[in-house]
Amino acid sequence: MFASSPTDPILPGATIGVLGSGQLGRMFTIAARRLGYRVHIFSPDSDTPAGQVGDVERVGAYEDLDAVREFARGVDLVTFEFENVPSATSQAAAEVVPVRPAGSVLHVAQQRLREKTFLADHGFPVTPFRRIQSVDDLTAAVRDLGLPAMLKTTSFGYDGKGQQRLTPGGDLGAAFAGLGGAEGVFEAFVDFEREISVIAARGADGSFEAFPVFENEHRHQILDVTLAPARIPATVAAEAVRITRGILESLDAVGLITVELFLTRDHRLLVNELAPRTHNSGHLTLDACVTCQFEQQLRAVCGLPLGSVELRRPAAMANLLGDIWVAAGGRPDWGAALADPAIKLHLYGKTEARVGRKMGHLTATGRTPEEAAQRVRAARDRLIPKR
């Protein structure tokens, strides 16, 4: 093992273990290998985006705690690429090596009700919410907080999964049944102007760095385009970073955490969700920042000095979903998209394109965020050949 004590940095040449094997793990692995680390991947799947570029791809169930402990014995530190790893899995790994962020952070962020309760109890601004375990709970929440509103499952929710929009006159019984027996959380309607995110890292020594605030545009509840810097007043951006720092400190988090926020029309900020990992909205940092979010995650969890988060130029990112492959007959026109020399293409190594599945992304820089966004949108449009 490379660290002789829990406070020693884990230096290049060490082996990092990653729980999860999707595109976030892939880009983290590429960043780690560039800095001289070895990377082992653990997930239930094989030939995965992360496994394709890792040194070792270990296939196993997260519930197989003996396999998790064996995996941990072969690495110097364990981190996550997504939060829906069972708490018992992180606890088993932590018996062997450091796990960062700690399982306690994962426990809060992987369940919406725990997350919102934690935030509210620590004084952070959140949308009014209620716990839903019955139709009566739902009826009371509607009476207290009104409609429209969102009803969400408390676990395994991302990219719009497990979410329902409730409107006046709707069938509350059917909405409750839509939870599928899971516990729910009812969130009051937020009249927001923009959705933003802050991606920040905190070291074991308390050091803190936040990337410039990102502005996010969604389509069908999936992130579509991110612009940086966000088109918001400097005072609002500073407040978003202040809230984010407070959350990381309250969690005593070591690593990278993303805080998604709503900016209301009267310029109040409300925390929407936490992600104890790198984030889709931060992909533009690969091409636009001095240090990308994946290298920053590595630096934070390994105890290295945090890197510069300077944005070299305004930038934008556009997601590439499987819908493009379907519309293009399975053959997107990559040459047409890359005809603009400012466009950068990132594909995730996924062999099957499905509607709604994230297959890659495009980034571009420009004189302004709007110019960068126009370029990535135009390049994405060119991927589908004209009939």
Per domain, the residue ranges of the chain are: 15-99, 128-188, 192-382
pLDDT at 63 over 70: yes
User: What does the alpha-carbon distance between residue 349 and residue 123 come to, in Å, rounded to a whole number?
Assistant: 42
Q: What are phi and psi of 89, to 5 degrees?
A: -65, -50
What is the maximum alpha-carbon separation in the chain?
Answer: 63
Closest CA to 202 of 56, 134, 70, 300: 300
Helices 23-34 & 293-302, crossing angle to 10 degrees? 70
pLDDT at 55 over 80: yes
Q: Which fold has domain 15-99?
A: Rossmann fold (3.40.50)
User: What's the length of the chain?
Assistant: 387
334 close to 384: Cβ distance less than 8 angstroms:
no
Helix (H, G, I), strand (E, B) or coil at 65: helix
The token pair at 22 is: 């999707």
* pLDDT tens string 114-150: 999 999 999 999 999 999 999 999 999 999 999 999 9
- What is the spatial distance between Cα 201 and Cα 45, in angstroms, rounded to a whole number? 29
Give the mean pLDDT of the chain. 95
CATH code for 192-382?
3.30.470.20
Q: CA-CA distances (angstroms) from residue 345 to 116, 292, 310, 318, 321?
A: 36, 16, 21, 10, 13
> Alpha-carbon distance 34 to 293, whole Å?
14
**AA identity, residue 262:** F
Place of tokens 């273990």: 17
Which three-class secondary structure state does DSSP give residue 191? Answer: coil
According to the CATH classification, is domain 128-188 in 3.30.1490.20?
yes
Band (6; pLDDT cuts 50, 70, 90):
low
Q: Identify the band that residue 2 occupies on the pLDDT scale cut at 50, 70 and 90.
A: low
